[in-house]
Structure 1
Amino acid sequence: MKIINIVGARPNFMKMAPIIDAMNQHPEQIEHLLVHTGQHYDEKMSKAFFNDLGMPKPDIDLEVGSGSHAEQTAKIMVLFEKICLREKPDLVIVVGDVNSTMACTITAKKLGIKVAHVEAGLRSRDMEMPEEINRLCTDVLCDYLFITDHFADENLRAEGVAAEKIIFVGNVMIDTLLKHKAMATQLNLLSKLGLRKKGYATLTMHRPSNVDDKETLEEILGALKTISKDLPIIFPIHPRTRKMIEQFGLSHYLNMDTVVSGIWITEPMGYLDFLHLNMNAKLVLTDSGGLQEETTVLGVPCITMRHNTERPITCEVGTNVIVGNSGQKIIAAAQAALSGNGIERRIPDKWDGHSAIRIVDWLIKHESK
């Protein structure tokens, strides 16, 4: 069985790494290629992840770079079609919900190639999120839908997906976290930064709904500044967010030096450094998706600065709370977490480090020729 695995953006790397590891245990049954679309191509934001996760270099790099959603999607489709025609895979595996996920799915299906979606069935119900459009388009086309939890199963069934297409395997992102947790524990990043365990919060923020409007961004930064009076906030800043903060003249909310107080920005971090930072934090503030899952497993309170989540399981059993981008609500949630009024977490079913093995075993059983 010949498989093409697709990665395009940073979170894809963490999801694909354990799948490739599992495939490598079956060289007689599976021949696989790793295609990197180049959707995220910054050295600090992408290549560090290949190094940290021990992944092989991509067999093929499409190097599509940046552009509008339409430009990026079109470039990927044109280039990936050539790869499919040349390599003639039996199956394409896509992960997550980025433009590469949708573009490669459409391309493969139009060529009559089967597609499997890892992390299928997630829904935010927010059509202003490009990722939601990508999820919907991808799932309706895919032959196999590997899901993380019961919410995803319910979503897909409600959309009319046949039960035999839905396979509950757990969360491959957690495979990567559990594999690398011990390694991350050995790092001495905290001492390098002058931090103490549970003596700081970490922050990620990059979504357009939070950073593209000056009034919204300033309200969030003001709330974070208030929180940082009690707990320093470490902010590995996304290039997009840095650009908007500077463009709106809001840099005075951030500490630009190396004194750990207030909101202290750093450059984007590699996977292991960032895992080390989060597992030792008192609190995590984010607008991303994956961190909601990771903090649930790590047992760290997570405040999600969004109005919705495609990962409600993290609120049902984990440490995650959804607060939107209201400064008042962000402050209230942080105060509740810091006072110890958090919810008691449970680890979701099958978030046990073996999800990728389940995926590969299922594919060998059902697809091997």
Structure 2
Amino acid sequence: ATMSCSIVAKKRGLKVAHLIAGTRSFDMNMPREVNRTIVDAISDYLFTAGMVANRNLNQEGMIPDYIHYVGNILIDTVRYNRHRLLQPVWFSSMGLEKKGYLLLTLNRHDLLDKKQVLSALMQTVVDKSCGMPIIAPLHPYVQKAIKALEIDAPHLHILPPQSYLHFGYLINNAKGIVTDSGNIAEEATFLDVPCITLNSYAEHPETWRIGTNELVNEDPVVLATMLERLMHEEWKHTTLPDRWDGRTAERIVQTLINGELK
């Protein structure tokens, strides 16, 4: 939708602004990598979340005046809602306590298709959690893939997807997170919650360079090491990336206003 709308807007003579411009996985087999590369190439405003994104755009020959380092717009939402988060009604009835559970999320279809890899990763999470509850809000297609593994783990609780405020509460109060989502790693960095990402890259490297995130790819051995570190309270604390302060929208609006005045 982002790519198609951008192309239509450009052909109608309208200006295009791309939020989170310059993020790259460098895997052109990913549809969204192709899409965002196209959008960046035709945008009039390239709003970036970090200096790595700036560098990517510069290396691709984008016009420097089009690039605006404004910060991560996702953090604006987290900052605004941080004090509005809601405890799910089932939280207490399940006997959960703050910082007393692990949060597990999975979404990537390519990982779910690798049944042996997925089984090894899931078994590692179960084994290294030391009996601590594992809360896993999952979409139906992910639930089906996990249940098909037939893992014996009474402390693994598979739940339906949660609302934004409920899920934000689970992130904010988890002892740690295991995920394949870059967005969750960004939220965890802002909230200073330990995060393990089942991927070989992060679209915002700030999450693992100075944030709370660690990349383990799809390696159960590395995952086990990180979970042991997490369970033994040996995790790094976050250093908030520059301009991830929840005021990105203000910078974007100001940039647009200044652009119209020229």
Same structural fold, with TM-score higher than 0.5 when normalized by the shorter chain: yes
2:143–2:158 contact (8 Å) kept in structure 1? no
1:203–1:285 contact (8 Å) kept in structure 2? yes
1:174–1:351 contact (8 Å) kept in structure 2? yes
> Are 1:228 and 2:126 counterparts?
no
- What are the superposed Cα offsets for residues 217-261 of structure 1, whole Å, 9 maximum, x if unpaired? 212222222133342210001223123345xx32x2276xxxxx5
Distance in 2, Cα, partners of 1:129 & 1:196: 39
Identify which of 140, 147, 156 aligns with 2:48.
147
- What are the superposed Cα offsets for residues 302-360 of structure 1, whole Å, 9 maximum, x if unpaired? 00001111110111110000001122221111111221222232101111111111111
Aligned to 1:183: 84
Cα displacement (A) at 1:368: 6.0
SS at match of 1:195: coil
Structure 1 unaligned runs (5+)?
1-99, 256-260
1:189–1:273 contact (8 Å) kept in structure 2? no
Kindly report which structure 2 residues correspond to 1:1-369, keeping only aligned pairs within 5 A, or say none: 100-184=1-85, 190-245=91-146, 249-250=148-149, 252-253=150-151, 261-367=154-260
Distance of aligned partners of 1:366 and 1:146 in 2 relative to their CA distance in 1, 3 Å threshold: same
Cα displacement (A) at 1:189: 5.8
Amino acid at match of 2:138: I
Distance in 2, Cα, partners of 1:218 & 1:193: 25
Cα displacement (A) at 1:106: 2.0
SS at match of 2:177: strand
Cα displacement (A) at 1:212: 1.5
Distance in 2, Cα, partners of 1:127 & 1:223: 31
Report the identity percentage.
40
Distance in 2, Cα, partners of 1:170 & 1:341: 29
- Size of the alignment, in residue pairs? 262
Distance of aligned partners of 1:137 and 1:358 in 2 relative to their CA distance in 1, 3 Å threshold: same
- What are the superposed Cα offsets for residues 68-89 of structure 1, whole Å, 9 maximum, x if unpaired? xxxxxxxxxxxxxxxxxxxxxx
1:302–1:319 contact (8 Å) kept in structure 2? yes
- What are the superposed Cα offsets for residues 165-192 of structure 1, whole Å, 9 maximum, x if unpaired? 0111111111110111111167766324
Distance of aligned partners of 1:179 and 1:186 in 2 relative to their CA distance in 1, 3 Å threshold: farther
TM-score, normalised via structure 1 length: 0.67
Q: Which has the higher contact order (CA 8 A, sep 6+)?
A: 2
Distance of aligned partners of 1:322 and 1:288 in 2 relative to their CA distance in 1, 3 Å threshold: same
RMSD, aligned α-carbons: 1.9
Cα displacement (A) at 1:131: 2.3
Distance in 2, Cα, partners of 1:157 & 1:123: 13
1:292–1:311 contact (8 Å) kept in structure 2? no
SS at match of 2:35: helix
